[in-house]
Amino acid sequence: MAKGTAEIAAGKIDDAIETFNRSIAVDPNMSRTYSNLGLCYTYKQQYDKAEDYYKKAISLDQTDYLPDLYPGVELYGA
């Protein structure tokens, strides 16, 4: 997951999406991976897809606060 996070920070959103999808293939129950995919799609301004990933993250871990924070990224210039 650190690789995908670094790719987001470097602006390599498509690479990060690939990395997170590989991570899901290995462990489909990691909510943070879905949160990060939601962030990627928020940056790509694909908000419906981002919302789906945020909802999946919350369904896996209701204590994960990131899906609640990331939608605000679109309001402040994703």
Per the model's pLDDT, the better-predicted residue between 75 and 51 turns out to be 51
Indicate whether 67 pLDDT > 60: no
Instruction: State the chain's maximal CA–CA distance in angstroms.
Output: 33
Domain 2-76: CATH superfamily, name plus number = Tetratricopeptide repeat domain (1.25.40.10)
Instruction: Check if the beta carbon of residue 38 is closer than 8 Å to that of residue 70.
Output: yes
Indicate whether 62 pLDDT > 90: no
Query: What pLDDT, in 10s, does the model give residues 14-61?
Result: 999 999 999 999 999 999 999 999 999 999 999 899 989 988 988 888
CA separation, residue 7 to residues 18, 57, 62, 78 (Å): 10, 20, 26, 15
Label residue 78 by pLDDT band (50, 70, 90).
very low
Q: Cα 8 to chain center, whole Å?
A: 10
